[in-house]
A and B are shown apart, each in its own frame.
Chain A
Amino acid sequence: MTMRKASLIQGNRACTEGALAAGVRFYAGYPITPSTEIAEIMSEELPKLGGKFVQMEDEIAGMACILGAALTGKKVLTASSGPGISLKQEAIGYAAMAEIPCVIVNVQRLGPSTGGPTSSAQGDIMQARWGTHGDHPIIALCPSSVYECFTLTVTAVNFAEKFRTPVYVLLDEIVGHMRENVELPTYEEIKIIDRKKPTCAPKEYKPYKIDESMIPAMADFGTGYKWHVTGLFHDETGFPTGKTDVIDSQLNRLMTKFSKYEDEILLWEENQLEDAEILLVAYGSTARSALDAIETLRNEGIKVGLFRPITIWPFPEKVLRGKLEKLKHIIVPEMNYGQLMLEVERVCKDKVSVSGLFKVNGLPITPDEIIAKVREVL
């Protein structure tokens, strides 16, 4: 697998290749457009690698099934879209609570409900953050090219393993179905992270006891550690507790467990931001239109730049706040009614005014529409 030639491949395929390269060996899910190619490719590739694929009876089962597999030590992934992602929410909360590494690929389609199966959207930004009940940590990454579908799925698997958390890869239908001629990294070129395993004797093992890393070591089922996993509030031994001070400190740790890793987790890209007066904050396929618009506007001497959050959750708020000095206005184009704009506003509005450009009809936001919006605010 050393030599990889450039080839014309789809975002969903690149995502699957990334998963396999990162070491994913278990997939469970239920077919749904526009994510189905991921299941299909997995069903073909996994058994060849000694891995397992299973088409479950619904998305709830798909999510639960990968968590069971993750507990035996496998790297796991499931993919779905809109209605299916909604069904998975309870088990995603379980993964956050019990700290089980897993990756959920959401190829976003137009919602709510059955909505538009083959239409693109970016309407699940807030669902990714708050879709399951209760306060919980989450990481969500958002590729905007076929190449990134590969690299960010590798990163997602690594983050899941390192931080013992569910991680979303948020594609939109356009990115998932888009074909680009790409040369994917070789296996030698990518960095792989495995979860930390306990080194103590089984008798001493406390599955939720942390060291300075904040992330507890995780034993594989079947290796003699005999530990208990539950979605109930538990203490560091893993057993349920009703003690409010323990609940308090456990949830506190959960909510802050990535904080010291922000430098590693927060990913973003900038384009012509240094002298920009107007900033576009765009992600996924919309960022591609934004880049196009910037080129046209710059040729006219209009100082426009791009900030593209790649890590959507946690939102790179400190990074963005550090870029506001010369800005006169921020525009957030997105294929929803302002889900990320709310976040940008929260972070920036005391220094710079923010407006949105929304389109929620299944069609992409075009460069011309962005150009028109920029002219409007000039």
Chain B
Amino acid sequence: MRPDLHHLFRIDKLPHIWCPGCGHGIITRTIGEAIAESDLDLEQTVIVSGIGCSSRASGYMNFDTLHTLHGRALAFATGVKLSNPQLNVFVLTGDGDATAIGGNHFIHAARRNINLNVILFNNNIYGMTGGQYSPLTPTGKMATTSPYGNIENNFDIPALAIASGASYVARGTAFHDKLLVDCIKEGIKNKGFSLIEAMSMCPTSYGRRNKMGTPADMLNDLKTSAVNINVAKKLTPEKLEGKFLIGTLHHKPYREFTEEYDKLIDRLRKEDI
């Protein structure tokens, strides 16, 4: 790790709990880099997470950190941010945490356009509990609870976030880490709900069962399946078949929840005089 990032992490809590080859460590590092390059007041920064391998990242980060309940990180974070809008609030969550058990909080936090920076670690599986299918496990893939291949459909997370009201939506991967840092930094700048889908990988509970090779092979899959949105504009639909887009997918700032609340308080104060 870059020595200039050490103060952002709880180095004494290492080694981390993640398996060798897990993508979550790379993504956690990119969050540190984005914070380091964003000139945030570190004492005014709170990291909230849910439950899952990904959500364990909060414990390694040197801030006020809140490791909550499965699916509920966004609801806790709403309380933190609304009660003290000065705080920079990050939410670290998994694909299961954010879109299965926490799906309701996800769409409503986006709808409020509350100023949270959400980094969703998508490894297409419930990693922590040993590899059951999630709402992001691709159709046909094997999981411990889809032993004959997954017959369910997936969410398109960016589309879900945009439709729900998120004002900044982007996607990066554990391979495209520089791009991921840039996306997180843009998300930090955006005054509203920012959703960054970070494509991760779980060699232990997903890759192995789906014969995806070594962690390096899985990283290479991320490399070859991702197409930058700027490049994609010039490509034919046939060329984009089976690929996913990375980069900033949506950016439309509009009224933010905690600012609107403060305006309401001001208005009532004036009426009182």
Contact = CB atoms under 8 A, between A and B. Distances in A.
Given A64-B72, A225-B64, A226-B43, A56 B108 contact: yes
A64 B76 contact: yes
Contacts of B80: 68-69, 71-72, 221
A70 B83 CA distance: 8
A75 B60 CA distance: 28
Nearest to B84: A72
Contact of B108 (A47, A57, A227): A57
B68 interface: yes
Interface string B45-83: 010100000000011001111111100100111111111
A174 interface: no
Contacts of A54: 78, 82
Interface in B83-99: 83-84, 86-87
Interface stretch (B150-158, B220-228, B264-272): B264-272
Interface string A67-93: 111111110100000000000001100
Nearest to B63: A226
B2 interface: no
Contacts of A65: 75-76, 78-79, 82
Decide if the interface of chain A is mainly helix, strand, loop or mixed: mixed
Contacts of A131: none
B37 to A, nearest CB: 20
B269 to A, nearest CB: 8
Interface string B197-215: 0000000000000000000
Interface stretch (A180-188, A228-236, A273-281, A298-306): A228-236
B83 to A, nearest CB: 4
Given A94-B68, A239-B13, A68 B43 contact: no
Q: Is the interface of B mostly helix, strand, loop or mixed?
A: helix
Nearest to A232: B67
B83 A52 contact: yes
Interface in B18-65: 43-44, 46, 48, 58-59, 62-65
Contact of B65 (A70, A228, A231): A228
Nearest to B87: A222
Residue of A72, A91, A225 with most chain B CB atoms under a 10 A cut-off = A72
A240 B59 contact: yes
Nearest to B65: A228
A227 B64 contact: yes
B141 interface: no
A61 B265 contact: no
B198 to A, nearest CB: 22
B244 interface: no
Among A28, A57, A221, the one with the most B-chain Cβ atoms within 10 Å of its Cβ is A221
Contacts of B58: 228
Interface in A43-67: 47-48, 50, 52, 54, 56-58, 60-62, 64-67
Contacts of A73: 84
B104 interface: yes
A26 interface: yes
A71 B87 CA distance: 12
* Leading 3 A-B pairs by shortest Cβ distance: A68-B79, A64-B75, A69-B83
Interface of B: 13, 43-44, 46, 48, 58-59, 62-69, 72, 75-84, 86-87, 104-105, 108, 261, 264-265, 268, 272
18 contacts: A25-B83, A26-B83, A28-B78, A60-B75, A65-B76, A65-B78, A67-B76, A69-B83, A72-B84, A91-B69, A221-B80, A222-B44, A222-B46, A222-B64, A226-B64, A227-B64, A228-B66, A239-B59
Interface of A: 25-26, 28, 47-48, 50, 52, 54, 56-58, 60-62, 64-74, 76, 90-91, 94, 221-232, 239-240
Given A60-B75, A228-B66, 12 more contacts: A60-B72, A61-B78, A66-B79, A71-B64, A71-B66, A72-B79, A72-B84, A221-B66, A221-B80, A228-B58, A231-B67, A240-B59
